[in-house]
């Protein structure tokens, strides 16, 4: 399997299941067998996730990526053995960091929920091709990661403006919009991946989708109050 297929969600699942460390092996950079150079994206993902680990209080040394060819068994063995020794030195996940198991589980669940948003927010950097190890440490900064989590984008459908045209619901790639004919639409915040498609798709004449940055969205209105009151053409024109 190409290392480019290793998703951030895989790493989170491993840590959520109590795995003490995650090792990723990939082909040498610029030696991609599939011409996709997915190992560059994996490298950037690992660098990003190591910073995220620092943000939630985990030692980033619990995650490692190494590059080697299929004929370099000695390189693989050495890299894996070194990593195993390091993880043993660190001890059980969370314990050496002083994080309670339930607290860690909660933090990992929150990051997991934000994975689609993180991919969208950092897609340009995730596609970069770093040429030297000197670039690795400074590619992502602690302040950048703090902002990533403190300035999370959310979207909300204003019940006073929604006209139940269903445009946003049809375009939503995550099927996160609760839409019923002639009823005000509601975004399911648990399913929402914060891609902004609904914001762009909502007809300008309605402008019902609002973007929130770093603050919670208002609660959805009760289902019994979602019947749409159609605006007259004269009111829309005015």
Furthest C-alpha separation in the chain: 77
Contact 217, 189 (CB under 8 A): yes
Please give the backbone phi and psi of residue 167, each rounded to the nearest 5 degrees, phi first. Answer: -65, -45
Per-residue pLDDT of the chain (238 residues; tens, 9 = 90+): 688 889 999 999 999 999 999 999 999 898 877 778 889 999 999 999 999 999 999 999 999 999 998 889 999 999 999 999 999 999 999 999 999 999 999 999 999 999 999 999 999 999 999 988 889 989 999 999 999 999 999 999 999 999 999 999 999 999 999 999 999 999 999 999 999 999 999 999 999 999 999 999 999 999 999 999 765 554 554 4
23: which strand partners? 64
Burial group, residue 26, by CB count within 10 angstroms (0-12, 13-18, 19+): buried
Nearest to 20 by CA among 98, 89, 110, 115: 89
Contact 83, 13 (CB under 8 A): no
Domains of the chain and any CATH numbers = 3-150 (no CATH), 153-237 (3.30.70.20)
pTM, two decimals, is 0.84
For the record, the structure tokens of 220 come out as 């959805």
């Amino acid at each position: 399997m190409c290392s480019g297929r290793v998703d951030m969600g895989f790493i989170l699942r491993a840590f959520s299941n109590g795995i003490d460390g995650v090792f990723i092996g990939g082909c040498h950079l610029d030696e991609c067998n599939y011409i996709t150079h997915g190992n560059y994206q994996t490298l950037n993902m690992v660098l990003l996730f190591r910073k995220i680990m620092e943000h939630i209080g985990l030692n980033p040394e619990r995650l490692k990526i190494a590059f080697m060819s299929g004929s370099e068994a000695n390189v693989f063995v050495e890299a894996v053995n070194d990593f195993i020794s390091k993880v043993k030195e660190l001890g059980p996940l969370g314990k050496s960091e002083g994080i309670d198991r339930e607290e860690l589980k909660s933090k990992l669940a929150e990051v997991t929920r934000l994975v689609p948003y993180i991919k969208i927010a950092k897609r340009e950097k995730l596609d970069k091709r770093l040429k030297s190890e000197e670039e690795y440490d400074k590619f992502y900064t602690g302040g950048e990661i703090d902002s990533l989590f403190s300035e999370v984008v959310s979207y909300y459908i204003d019940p006073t403006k929604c006209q139940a045209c269903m445009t946003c619901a049809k375009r939503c790639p995550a099927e996160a919009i609760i839409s019923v004919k002639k009823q005000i639409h509601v975004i399911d915040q648990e399913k929402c991946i914060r891609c902004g498609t609904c914001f762009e798709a909502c007809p300008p004449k309605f402008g019902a989708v609002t973007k929130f940055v770093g603050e919670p969205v208002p609660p959805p209105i009760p289902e019994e109050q979602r019947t749409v009151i159609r605006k007259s053409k004269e009111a829309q024109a005015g």
